[in-house]
Amino acid sequence: MKSYLTAFSIALCIYACMGQQTYNYTEAIRLSNTFYRIQRQGRIADNHIPWRVDCFLHDGQDVGIDLSGGHFHAADYTKFLFPYASFTTMLNWGLLDWANGYNETVVDDSFDTVRRSLEYLVVMHPSPNVMFVQIGNGSLDHTLWERCEDWPHGPRTTFQINETAPGSDIASEYAAAFASGYLIFKDRDAAFAETLLQHAIDAYEFAFNFRGKYSDSVPEIAEFYNSTGFGDDLGWGAVWLLRATNNTQRYKPILDKLWCEEDYQENNGTEFSWDKKYAGVFILGNKVLEEAGSAEARYRDKGIEYCNAVMNVERTPQGLTLIDEWTPLRFVSNAAFACLNLAEQPNSGNVTAYRLWAMSQMHYILGDTGRSFVVGFGENSPRNPHHRISSCPPRPAPCGWAFFNSDADNHFECTGALVGGPDRNDNFQDLRQNWEQNDVGLDYNAGFQSAMAALNQLQRFGLIP
Ligand SMILES: *[C@@H]1O[C@H](CO)[C@@H](O)[C@H](O)[C@H]1NC(C)=O
Ligand SMILES: *[C@@H]1O[C@H](CO)[C@@H](O)[C@H](O)[C@H]1NC(C)=O
Ligand SMILES: *[C@@H]1O[C@H](CO)[C@@H](O)[C@H](O)[C@H]1NC(C)=O
Ligand SMILES: *[C@@H]1O[C@H](CO)[C@@H](O)[C@H](O)[C@H]1NC(C)=O
Ligand SMILES: *[C@@H]1O[C@H](CO)[C@@H](O)[C@H](O)[C@H]1NC(C)=O
Ligand SMILES: *[C@@H]1O[C@H](CO)[C@@H](O)[C@H](O)[C@H]1NC(C)=O
Ligand SMILES: *[C@@H]1O[C@H](CO)[C@@H](O)[C@H](O)[C@H]1NC(C)=O
Ligand SMILES: *[C@@H]1O[C@H](CO)[C@@H](O)[C@H](O)[C@H]1NC(C)=O
């Protein structure tokens, strides 16, 4: 009986060990940073992407400030700053709390990625109560499928928020990006970090003192990156400012008051995204309040509630947690990263379950179903992401809608981009025209890249297989 059981457990172990694919998380981080370099616009001589050239050098001329630079958000060329600030914060969070997950071969490149976006956010915040939130007309942008250097419509419009047209959502997200940037740069570049800290404090006061939704102030943006509200963002910004300053006198009462506002705790679906920050407020807030000497079990309990709810969401036959059928992989990446953070905190529930669930979801992305969803990574990865600049052939060949609609593969590799993902039956079409499944974006990669660092660190310390 005993030897039978031993044989059984050995067989089980062999089965489990064979079934467990391993992936090179460092390689995924390396490729993800490449994607962020592909997305840069402005003067890009040093982006190390030979097939990209400068474009949109005149941004900001309508407001008399050089606002060239930054990145394309997705396939299109318009600069949308709400998801932009959000992806920066998500990457900073990974660099801050999962530093041991960044192998020395990728750490400098990862800091360079966020330095670029933080420097751009500084330029986009020219005075305490003014912030640029969009550059370019999104509808006009969507009428063409061309190389950015062939943009036919002349200089682009700059949209702003200010005291009379506020945006507490985006201003809080700028504050979070600056505050987290301060924390990761304070030991690397003290002068840059001080600049970021001042911008963080100013941006948060602007968000707090002038209340409103930025998509009401700049209605053009609602069609693209509409904000559903700013209570969550005010909380998110306050948590990051508290962490950066340890100024409990200023930020703790704000958090306490937000907690009591109508719907604050009920507004807790399973989405954690550029627009919805509740999961981050609860999970990071738990850690930050504890470190500030004001531990609050209610934050931890909401974090546990969130991760348990996410793990109970319906899954596809092959095991993908379907938080949203529209671009499921970015949502599951953000949730996985959030719950990996919760699992680090004392008394945070079923730590092993959170880690194994997050790992299973990331492995789905990296190739467990026989295909990878990260361009250039692993086996059978997408070749035709919905991405203009990599799809267009080089000059002088024409690009345009005829090319978009053709069967020709994308001309260049959009290296490192995480695509939207499969449908509810795990079916995926590697078609440029299928933007529901094959779209890419700055925010898609951020939770994913930080989750790679987290898994890498847990694996190094022997906490996951
Ligand atoms: C993993 O990827 C990194 C970065 O590309 C590379 O340096 C390393 O050699 C890879 N490790 C293995 C075991 O292949
Ligand atoms: C970085 O990766 C290399 C190659 O995989 C490995 O030999 C080295 O131990 C790693 N370093 C760290 C700090 O993890
Ligand atoms: C943006 O472009 C569209 C389509 O060309 C046009 O109808 C609209 O008026 C433009 N909006 C602004 C604010 O210029
Ligand atoms: C404030 O922002 C609004 C909305 O973008 C804009 O219409 C207005 O001109 C701005 N105010 C100033 C003083 O620039
Ligand atoms: C933006 O969101 C608000 C609710 O917050 C909604 O009323 C409005 O219709 C949305 N606008 C667009 C264009 O989706
Ligand atoms: C949202 O919060 C309410 C009140 O705390 C709770 O009853 C509900 O279960 C939560 N839902 C999720 C999905 O966490
Ligand atoms: C923050 O300040 C409190 C006292 O107000 C102190 O107990 C705590 O150790 C400080 N935390 C950090 C991270 O400096
Ligand atoms: C934790 O999760 C694991 C894996 O889902 C499960 O087997 C175990 O029973 C859970 N433990 C508790 C205490 O809920």
Inside any domain, residue 115: no
Structurally, the chain folds into a number of domains equal to: 1
**Mutate-to-test residue for ligand 5 from 226, 233, 326, highest number of ligand atoms within 8 A of CB:** 226
Inside any domain, residue 243: no
Looking at residue 151, its pLDDT comes to 96
Inside any domain, residue 32: yes
DSSP per-residue letters across 163-191: SSS--HHHHHHHHHHHHHHHHHHTTT-HH
Q: Quote the tokens at residue 110.
A: 């990862």
Inside any domain, residue 385: yes
Active-site choice (71, 199, 386, 387): 386
Cα-to-centroid distance, 327 and ligand 4 (Å): 34
**Residues 75, 439 contacting (CB under 8 angstroms):** yes
Inside any domain, residue 425: yes
Which ligand 2 atom minimizes the distance to the CA of 105? 1
**Mutate-to-test residue for ligand 7 from 246, 287, 289, highest number of ligand atoms within 8 A of CB:** 246
Which ligand lies nearest the alpha carbon of 308? 6
Read off the CATH number of the domain in which 372 is found. 1.50.10.10
Looking at residue 425, its pLDDT comes to 98
Annotated catalytic residue 386? yes
10-residue stretch averages of pLDDT, the chain, 465 residues long = 42 50 96 98 95 97 98 97 98 98 98 98 98 98 97 97 98 99 98 98 98 98 96 98 98 97 83 97 98 95 96 98 96 98 95 98 98 98 98 95 95 98 98 96 98 98 95
Looking at residue 19, its pLDDT comes to 59
Inside any domain, residue 376: yes
Q: Angle at CA 407, nearest 5°, toward 403 and 411?
A: 60
Cα-to-centroid distance, 8 and ligand 8 (Å): 22
Inside any domain, residue 148: no
Rounded Cα–Cα distance for residues 413 and 364 (Å): 22
> Domain residues for 395?
1-40+313-465
Residue written as token pair 């640029």: 132
- CA 355, chain centre distance (Å): 20
Which ligand lies nearest the alpha carbon of 210? 4
Q: Quote the tokens at residue 308.
A: 């348990």
Q: Where are the alpha helices (DSSP H) in 63-164?
A: 81-97, 104-123, 138-141
Which ligand lies nearest the alpha carbon of 163? 4
Rounded Cα–Cα distance for residues 92 and 86 (Å): 10
Inside any domain, residue 121: no
Among 286, 172, 329, 308, CA closest to 236: 172
**Mutate-to-test residue for ligand 8 from 312, 347, 350, highest number of ligand atoms within 8 A of CB:** 350
Amino acid (1-letter code) at residue 424: R
Residue nearest to atom 13 of ligand 8 (CA): 350
